[in-house]
Structure formats: structure tokens, C-alpha cells
Amino acid sequence: MNLDALVSHQFARKTTRLTTRDTILYALSVGAGRDPYCDYDLRLVYERELQALPTMAAVLAHPGMWIAEPAFGVNVTKLVHGEQRIEIRHPLPVRGDVTARYAIRAVVDKGTGKGALVYFEKHVTDAATERPLCSVLQMLFLRDDGGCGSYGEPPESLVAFEPGAASFVHELQTLPSAALLYRLNGDLNPLHVDPDAARAAGFERPILHGLCTYGAVGYLLTRAFCDGDASRLVSLDTRFTAPVYPGETIRLEGNVDGDRLHFRALVTERNQVVLSHGSARIN
């Protein structure tokens, strides 16, 4: 990887228009609307009194596959989405124009043959008022790009959840068509829809987007802990450890520490942890 090219790159700001259709589609794609007569779910999928799920911050003004820029010299075939963190400053709008700015926050060189971690941040504001809406921090694990050198200050490490401490359990069965819906939020990677592409990547069938699993967990947390007000979820941090296959059941295990929730998520069919080091804050 060309570290100098990466850290000196000037990302253009991006303004995009959010519609109620986008907000509803996002909620449906991460599992909302299973019970159309539930008041809470209806507020996420019906334009009357519509609320946006906070995890929609992950797809707002997404910059696309920026890391594949040839000048960066990254082997994208060895890239893994390692962690995702969001912080909500003001409740996300259900419609309107939003502007995002992007930056490389840090690069951690783990050494030749060990890979490198790239921390990429996105800050989203209301385009008309410039009111800050949310911050998103994404960690990419570049497995083939160690030995490149380090840059900046990485964030504090996420803390692992000890499963023996679980005081709550919630489950959500993903739809077999979940990846087909979620890709309409903007991630059209064939890995999530094309059986041939999935097999070529080493999977038995197409896998769910990691950020769809992330959104499903966010939906579960808002439904269980936010008293019908999705905007009360103001942060959600986690590490991706394994993929989910569409149709599998996500089991969320965690405990409550004041306004902070600590958790992990696994799929019950394979008893495999898919999200670890989870932390969320409820306002």
C-alpha cells in the first residue's frame, strides 16, 4: 500500500438527497416491519410519523469503494471490514439533503505479512443548516498490506463482551431475501447475490452484508431498549467476526451498565459469533 498517497488524498465532500422511500427501505432491509400492526415497527416503515433508524448513518452519503483507487496500491481482494462505530449527534432526518466529509483518521501497520488497519471516518451534516447529524468510523483490515508504515492516532480499542455476564437475549430471524433488499441501499457487491461470486470467494452461498447484520442488531436494540423512540440509540460500536447467511437467526446476548449496553451476536443455526466487542449507548 502507498501510505503517502492514502493519507494525502483529499476526499471531495458529497451532498445527497434522502427521501422517505430511502428511510423506509433501509428499515425494511434490516428486519423492521415483520409485524405491520406493531406501533413501533410502523413508525419505521410508514411515512406518517416516520422515524429513521440510527444505523442508517452507515449508508448515508456513502463514498463507495474509495479504497480501490489504484494510486493507493491496496490489494482489495484481501480486504475485510473489521469494525464499525457510529455516534449520533442529532436524530437522523427521514428526508432532506445531507452533506458528508471524509478523512483517513489513522493507519496501524501490523507488520509485513500481518496486514494493516485503516480507520476511515465520515461526518454527516444537514446540508441546509450545517447541523451535525452523525459521525461514522469504519475500520478496514487490509490483510495483504502490512509493512506500509503507520499514521495518526487510532481510537481506543473496543472491549470484548464476556458471554457469561449476559442479562438479556433477543433474537431476529433474517429473511432469505435480506441481502436482495439491503443491496438497494447502495452496496451492489455480487458476493451478496450471485452464487458463483460467493463460491469463488469461498462461501457456500451468498452472504449477508456485514452492515445489514449491524443494522439488524441496531433494530433489535432500539426495539428492546428505546421505549418506542429509535432516536434514543446514540452510539453503536462493534467488530465483525464472521458472516451471516440470509435466513439465519441472529441471537443478541448482552448486559446493561447504566446507559451503556455491552453485547455480542451469534447465529443460532451454527452457534457462531458474528459480531463481538459490541457496545451501544441509550440516551
pLDDT digits (tens, 9 = 90+) for 70-122: 999 999 888 999 999 999 999 999 999 999 999 999 999 999 999 999 999 99
User: Distance between CA 11 and CA 165 in Å, rounded?
Assistant: 43
What's the whole-number mean pLDDT along residues 121-149? 96
Look at the block and give the residue holding cell 413501533: 40
CATH number of 163-282: 3.10.129.10
- At the fourth CATH level, the homologous superfamily of domain 3-152 is Hotdog Thioesterase (3.10.129.10)
What's the whole-number mean pLDDT along residues 155-182? 93
Domains 3-152 and 163-282 share a fold: yes
User: Distance between CA 201 and CA 77 in Å, rounded?
Assistant: 9
| Active-site annotation holder among 115, 210, 218, 278 | 210
| Active-site annotation holder among 24, 86, 88, 207 | 207
pLDDT at residue number 59? 96
Domains of the chain, by residue range, sit at: 3-152, 163-282
Q: H or E stretch including 107? A: strand 96-109
Mark whether 22 is an active-site residue. no
Asked whether residue 165 carries a pLDDT value surpassing 90, the answer given is: no
| Active-site annotation holder among 41, 109, 145, 187 | 187
pLDDT at residue number 130? 96
pLDDT at residue number 77? 86
Ramachandran region, residue 42 (left: φ > 0; alpha: ψ -120 to 50; beta: rest): alpha
SS3 of 192, please?
A: helix
Asked whether residue 12 carries a pLDDT value surpassing 80, the answer given is: yes
Neighbouring-strand partners of residue 123:
101, 135
pLDDT digits (tens, 9 = 90+) for 186-198: 999 899 999 999 9
Share of the chain above pLDDT 90, in %: 91
User: Distance between CA 248 and CA 228 in Å, rounded?
Assistant: 26
pLDDT digits (tens, 9 = 90+) for 28-73: 999 999 888 889 999 999 999 999 999 999 999 999 899 999 999 9
166 versus 151: which is more confidently predicted? 151
**Nearest in space to 18 (alpha carbons), one of 88, 77, 95, 72:** 95
Residue pair 54/236 in contact (Cβ under 8 Å)? The answer is yes
Residue pair 89/125 in contact (Cβ under 8 Å)? The answer is no
Which pLDDT band holds residue 164 (cuts at 50, 70, 90)?
confident
Mark whether 192 is an active-site residue. yes
Q: In residues, how long is the chain? A: 283
User: Distance between CA 49 and CA 256 in Å, rounded?
Assistant: 29
**Nearest in space to 233 (alpha carbons), one of 131, 48, 29, 91:** 91
| Active-site annotation holder among 62, 123, 192, 277 | 192
Mark whether 152 is an active-site residue. no
Which pLDDT band holds residue 218 (cuts at 50, 70, 90)?
very high
How is residue 236 written as a grid cell?
Answer: 453503536
